[in-house]
Structure 1
Amino acid sequence: MTISQDSAAPLIVVVGSTGTQGGSVVDNLAASDKPYRIRGLTRDSSKKQATSLAERGVEVVQCNLTVDNVEGIRKAFQGATYIFIVTNFWEHLDGARERAEGKAMVDCAKEAGVKLLLISGLVNVTEASNGELTKVFHFDAKHDIVQYAKSVGVPYVDVQASAYMSNIVTFMRPAPLGDGAYVVRGTWTPGTKLPYIDTLHDYGLFARLAIESDEFNTGDGKALSAWSEWVSFEDICNSIVSEISGKRVTYQQITEEQARAGMGQGGMPPHAVDDYIDMSKFHEFVWPRVFVETDLSKLARRPRTFEEYAKTVDWTSVLP
Structure 2
Amino acid sequence: MSGQSSKKIITVVGSTGCQGGSVAETFLTDAKLKNEWTVRGITRDTAKEASKKLASAGADMVAADVNDTASLVKAFSGSDTVFAVTDYWGAAGMKKDVEIQQGKNLVDAAKEAGIKHFILSTLYNATEMTNGKLPNIEHFDSKAEVSKYAAASGLPTTYFLAGCYMDNFPAMFRAADDDNNSNNNQPKTTWTLSIPLSPAGHIPLFSPRDDTGKFVKGIVARRDALLGADVRAATARYSPADLLDGWRAAFPGTPAAVRHVPDDQHVALLRGLGLPPHGAVELNENFRLMDGAFDYYGGKPLSLDVLVDGDRPTTWTEFAKKNPAFKDLV
Same fold (TM over 0.5): yes
1:37 matched to 2:38? The reply is: yes
Change (3 A) 1:190 1:138: same
Give the paired residue count. 310
- Using the TM superposition, name which of 249-258 and 115-124 deviates more: 249-258
1:241 matched to 2:250? The reply is: no
1:231 matched to 2:241? The reply is: no
CA contact (8 A) 1:164 1:199 kept: yes
Cα distance between partner residues in 2 of 1:318 and 1:282: 33
Q: Secondary structure at the match of 2:312?
A: coil
Match of 1:138?
139
Match of 1:314?
324
Change (3 A) 1:135 1:297: closer
Change (3 A) 1:308 1:78: same
CA contact (8 A) 1:161 1:199 kept: yes
1:261 matched to 2:271? The reply is: no
Q: CA deviation at 1:111?
A: 0.3
If you compute each CA radius of gyration, which structure gives the higher value, 1 or 2? 2
1:82 matched to 2:67? The reply is: no
Match of 1:187?
196
Alignment of 1:272-311 (within 5 A): 272-284=279-291, 285-287=293-295, 289-296=298-305, 298-300=307-309, 301-311=311-321
Change (3 A) 1:78 1:318: farther
Identity of aligned residues (%): 28
Cα distance between partner residues in 2 of 1:139 and 1:28: 26
Q: CA deviation at 1:168?
A: 1.9
Q: CA deviation at 1:319?
A: 7.6
Alignment of 1:62-211 (within 5 A): 62-66=63-67, 69-91=68-90, 92-169=93-170, 172-177=171-176, 179=178, 180-211=189-220
Match of 2:24?
26
Q: Secondary structure at the match of 1:203?
A: helix
Q: 1:272-319: CA deviations, max 9, x gaps?
A: 122112211211222165233214374231222222222222344588
Q: Secondary structure at the match of 1:57?
A: coil
Q: CA deviation at 1:10?
A: 1.0
Q: Secondary structure at the match of 1:90?
A: coil
Cα distance between partner residues in 2 of 1:20 and 1:216: 26
1:9 matched to 2:7? The reply is: yes
CA contact (8 A) 2:211 2:314 kept: yes
Listed as ranges, the gaps of 5+ residues in structure 1 are none
Q: CA deviation at 1:106?
A: 0.8
Cα distance between partner residues in 2 of 1:44 and 1:317: 32
Match of 2:49?
48
Q: CA deviation at 1:65?
A: 1.9
Cα distance between partner residues in 2 of 1:129 and 1:26: 35
Q: TM-score w.r.t. structure 1 length?
A: 0.89
Q: CA deviation at 1:243?
A: 4.6
CA contact (8 A) 1:198 1:304 kept: yes
Cα distance between partner residues in 2 of 1:54 and 1:202: 21
Q: CA RMSD in A?
A: 2.3
